Structure 1
């Protein structure tokens, strides 16, 4: 690899990914390549005429992505400001020297950043053509309906997802509503269908195959969804229960092979992942969900990042409705 900065950034990505998968702190190897990348980037960006090349962008993206998964949020947001500025500069429509695929890698990184830190994207990278907040649920319903042989999704799963889709479709207009309006609309429009939704233990059955585990994850996601809709009227104890369900969901998803998600259920994977992330209190827990999402969606998503963006829009509205989004003025925590 000719570019030494990109070389160290690539090895940092690999080492950091292994650290995350192993559930450990950054190793000496990870820190070495991270420090080397930062040093070389500083030299490039502190020149009178910053060296803005594909290699520079390719080095910035993993630094932002893995640093936000390995570090604490508040100091990191300030530290990453200059790096975010580089991405923003690269994806401007007038910057014609950058390939579209590289620009969308920038979008993916910033959408991930937004989910982990509960913040809006640093610039408007979303457009009307990406659809509504319920688009990922509509995609999931379509994929479950037209599944070959109808063997992948169980009847109970489809019915539970349809209930969620119907309910969430009524809430699409609440993205900019006040807390009082949200509370009123939830009371008037939502009647949670909690019958037969106690699925928190079934995915621990070691004899289950990938399809059965996926169905269990779908039903657990439905349960988390309904509980998130009721967050504003719940105690912190109830919110912690949702957080524990999200952790159980994360463990259950990890028992399903990546190839299964990629080949057979990318829409289900996207919806389950962003539902789980929405139920997490801690940024590091959300980061684990988003890291897995980026790994799989990179393999299946199109150049417009349709699945990633649909998942992000769903996540944002669900967090907003639940009151868990810390950056929102009407957060149940108050703004940090």
Structure 2
């Protein structure tokens, strides 16, 4: 019998693997899921990069056509590449245990042996291709794989085992996100209801597999539907958010402390996040004694030394919007809609990969402020989609980040709604 390949984590880090079952010693010590790619797919998934910078896990997709679980079609290698490219993290550090890493490895490993999940992968890849071409309607290839995915899901639902397995659950998640992005409330509601029932039958989110990938995808789906349809059924990963929710700002301030030097104006961004943190605490008069002496830094100094860097401008505008929502406006003459429009304009001038490589949490913080402030569905989806890659870089073992982002968005939505009600 041929010896199995090294696990994906050891191959990714270029470390020697003892190939132990069910988990090699290195994965066991680091508390990460140990995954072995079958021998016949050993040339299909090639994880590269240096352990020092955890480069993108590139995939050699041209060598796996014989491993497709459905009849081969000429465009399939391209759609698989589109699926990987659509994650948006090709130039950012992708660490083992993140959602992006799970999609590149765990998802792809299962997709190459499960027809339902394979159709879901091709559906996502084709949808991404449609988006790149600027298509307003789905292509015939996209519709084909969507219909095949729906057909296989319906066939499985009555089965006592595969009807609620991880591959089936994971395969449904693109249907929910697609319905959210297209504004199809009825389709999203049907798919979400089905997923909730399946999760109940499995015993809850903590019983789901793929190393936490399925649960993370379900949480992301819920966030999409909340943004698109104003739903309130987000499944918390655990823990009770504080009000006002300041955990996200605390996380960001902590991450910025250890960030290596870069041309990004980190000190200015830290002051911005600290200002937003203090404003949140003051919003409901829940200021801790330790923060009583921390005053908002003067508006004049912000305007006087405003850098031209577009990333700083985005952070500054996001803080301005947040302060306006909590009734401490820096620019009373500008409406929230104007500020959100300015924020979008500056975001389009920034390099997404720079955000992802150095300050992904700040990127999510900025974009979700924009999403929580606008009334326009298309703009809310734009802000969410802009930062979705940042969510994929977060460790699957750290579900709290998505909970914190959710609480941040919910609190801003609530404050903005109450402010509008007061004006009426």
* Band of TM-score, shorter chain: 0.7 to 0.9
Structure 1 unaligned blocks of 5 or more: 175-189, 204-211, 324-329
Counterpart-to-counterpart distance in 2, 1:276 and 1:195: 24
Equivalent residues of 1:231, 1:239 under 8 A apart:
no
Q: CA deviation at 1:19?
A: 3.4
Deviations 1:90-112 (A, max 9, x none): 56068466753322332232233
Counterpart-to-counterpart distance in 2, 1:319 and 1:332: 11
Q: Scaled by the length of structure 1, what TM-score is found?
A: 0.73
The aligned residue for residue 308 of structure 1 is 402
2:368 matches 1:256 = no
2:165 matches 1:53 = yes
Q: Is the partner of 1:147 in helix, strand or coil?
A: coil
Counterpart-to-counterpart distance in 1, 2:238 and 2:194: 20
Which of structures 1 and 2 has the larger relative contact order (alpha carbons within 8 angstroms, sep 6+)? 1
The aligned residue for residue 126 of structure 2 is 15
Counterpart-to-counterpart distance in 2, 1:307 and 1:288: 20
Q: CA deviation at 1:298?
A: 1.1
The aligned residue for residue 31 of structure 1 is 143
Equivalent residues of 2:228, 2:381 under 8 A apart:
yes
Q: Scaled by the length of structure 2, what TM-score is found?
A: 0.59
2:325 matches 1:214 = no
Q: Is the partner of 1:148 in helix, strand or coil?
A: coil
Where in structure 2 are the equivalents of 1:1-336 lying within 5 Å?
1-20=112-131, 23-28=134-139, 29-46=141-158, 51-72=163-184, 74-86=185-197, 88-89=199-200, 90=202, 92=204, 95=207, 99-128=211-240, 133-149=245-261, 152-171=264-283, 194-195=299-300, 212-230=309-327, 238-252=335-349, 255-258=350-353, 260-323=354-417, 332=420
Classify 1:36/1:302 alpha carbon distance in 2 versus 1 (closer, same or farther; 3 Å).
closer
- Between Structure 1 and Structure 2, the one with more helix by share is 1
Equivalent residues of 1:9, 1:62 under 8 A apart:
yes
Counterpart-to-counterpart distance in 2, 1:311 and 1:122: 12
Deviations 1:225-257 (A, max 9, x none): 22333499xx9x9343244234324423xx314
Equivalent residues of 1:227, 1:242 under 8 A apart:
no
Q: Is the partner of 1:170 in helix, strand or coil?
A: helix
Structure 2 unaligned blocks of 5 or more: 1-111, 287-294
Q: Is the partner of 1:80 in helix, strand or coil?
A: helix
Counterpart-to-counterpart distance in 2, 1:88 and 1:33: 24
- Larger Rg over CA atoms: 2
Deviations 1:248-280 (A, max 9, x none): 24423xx3142x223311221121121122122
Counterpart-to-counterpart distance in 1, 2:284 and 2:212: 30
Classify 1:124/1:151 alpha carbon distance in 2 versus 1 (closer, same or farther; 3 Å).
closer
Aligned length in residues: 298
